[in-house]
Structure formats: structure tokens, C-alpha cells
């Protein structure tokens, strides 16, 4: 007789469940094209925010951002308080809204897109939004007694125009004012044409 009880039966799956809309997340069936774009977006004595990669899919791009925290010699009590604040203020909607991490982009044609959930405007959440959206997927984080890190994947949909993209960040909880860094995304349309599907169907 096994030590562990038998697993409960799996719930029945709805075979008619619709797929996630393309504008809401990166395509699950595509291998993106990575373009060489990495920049430090902001840095203080304890915090650094960087763009570490840009992945181009057939109908949008993903900006991969890392946030790093270092102890830098402060007392353990202060470090514990700092890491608590770091975790509290990571999300767009978590923690004190006045201190939360914010991110947005300005596209080559001057269009401004902020990191706000497309669902926040109400209405039908499955309806395709007008214009560009910037959706966030937190990639988790971790650390120890001397450093902590977390990441975000930002899905910009649909494909932006070719050329430069200005990335704008702000993190009031860590005294990071509105900071702008411009990256050259090159020919996004050309890169998107080279994204490959894993499955033909």
C-alpha cells in the first residue's frame, strides 16, 4: 500500500475552450527573432533596471526587462526592508500605486503606449482593442542576503513601425524618476517575417 493517497481525478477539460487572443500574449507556437538591443534603463546605489532582450514575433514584439537589487553594505534590517519594498512595488497594480514600477514606450511614429492591462478599460475582455497594447507578464524573482532580481516580459501588439523605440521607466518607490532610453529596433517588419512556427497546423 502506497504511503501517499491516490491523486484525485483530473477535472474534465473543455475541448471548446477558445485560444487566448493574439493581442494578449506572445504566440505560443512561434520561435521569435532576437534583435541586438540591450540597455541600462535606470540605476541607483541599490537598484538597476535594464532591457536585456527584444524578441520579434509575427505580429508583435516582446521587451524583456530585468530589475536587480543589491545590498551594497547596508545592515541586514535595512536590507530586509529594502527587499520587502522591492517585491511590493514591482507590479503595475501592486503595492502603493504612488510608488509602483511603471513602463511604457514611444514608437517611431510618435505613438505612446503605456504598460496598462487592456482589460482595464472595461467592456468585452476578448474584443480586439483599438491601437497598440502593452501587456505585462511577470517572470518571478528571487535572491538572498546580498542580491535580488525579478523580470518582466512586455508584449507590444501589434507590430510597431520600423525604427527607434523609446523605452520609458519610472519607479518612485526607489527614487527613479521618469527616464527614457532609445533603442534601434531596425526593420521590425523584416524580422517578423523570419519568425518561425513550431507546428504547421
In a domain, residue 55? The reply is: yes
Query: Count of CB atoms within 10 A of residue 100's CB?
Result: 18
In a domain, residue 13? The reply is: no
pLDDT of residue 185: 85
Which three cell numbers mark 92? 503595475
Domain containing 94: what range?
A: 31-116+132-197
User: CATH number of the domain that 188 lies in?
Assistant: 2.60.40
In a domain, residue 105? The reply is: yes
pLDDT of residue 93: 44
In a domain, residue 26? The reply is: no
* Cell 527613479, located at residue: 176
In a domain, residue 23? The reply is: no
Q: What is the pLDDT of residues 80-137, one digit of tens each?
A: 888 878 777 655 444 566 778 888 999 999 999 987 544 444 556 567 778 899 988 8
In a domain, residue 190? The reply is: yes
Number of domains in the chain: 1
Q: Taking Cα atoms as reference points, which of 52, 174, 180, 64 lies closest to residue 112?
A: 180
* Residue 201: burial class (beta carbons within 10 Å; 0-12, 13-18, 19+): exposed
In a domain, residue 22? The reply is: no
pLDDT of residue 113: 93
In a domain, residue 173? The reply is: yes
Distance separating alpha carbons of residues 95 and 86, to the nearest angstrom: 10
pLDDT in tens, the chain (201 residues): 555 566 667 666 555 666 677 788 888 899 999 998 899 999 999 999 999 999 999 999 999 999 999 998 889 988 888 887 877 765 544 456 677 888 899 999 999 998 754 444 455 656 777 889 998 887 667 777 889 888 889 999 999 999 999 999 998 888 899 999 999 888 899 999 999 999 987
Amino acid at each position: 500500500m502506497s504511503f501517499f493517497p491516490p491523486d484525485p481525478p483530473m477535472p474534465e477539460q473543455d475541448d471548446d475552450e477558445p485560444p487566448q487572443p493574439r493581442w494578449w500574449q506572445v504566440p505560443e507556437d512561434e520561435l521569435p527573432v532576437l534583435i541586438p538591443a540591450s540597455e541600462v534603463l535606470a540605476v541607483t546605489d541599490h537598484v538597476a533596471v535594464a532591457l536585456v532582450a527584444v524578441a520579434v514575433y509575427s505580429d508583435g514584439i516582446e521587451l524583456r526587462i530585468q530589475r536587480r537589487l543589491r545590498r551594497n553594505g547596508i545592515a541586514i534590517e535595512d536590507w530586509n526592508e529594502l527587499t520587502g519594498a522591492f517585491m511590493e512595488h514591482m507590479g503595475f497594480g501592486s503595492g502603493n500605486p504612488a510608488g509602483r514600477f511603471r513602463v511604457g514606450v514611444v514608437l517611431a511614429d510618435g505613438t505612446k503606449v503605456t504598460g496598462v492591462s487592456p482589460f482595464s478599460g472595461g467592456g468585452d475582455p476578448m474584443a480586439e482593442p483599438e491601437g497598440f497594447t502593452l501587456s505585462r507578464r511577470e517572470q518571478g524573482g528571487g535572491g538572498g542576503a546580498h542580491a535580488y532580481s525579478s523580470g518582466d516580459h512586455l508584449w507590444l501588439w501589434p507590430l510597431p513601425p520600423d525604427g527607434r523605440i523609446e523605452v520609458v521607466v519610472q519607479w518612485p518607490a526607489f527614487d527613479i524618476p521618469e527616464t527614457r532610453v532609445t533603442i534601434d529596433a531596425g526593420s521590425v517588419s523584416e524580422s517578423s517575417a523570419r519568425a518561425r512556427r513550431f507546428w504547421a497546423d
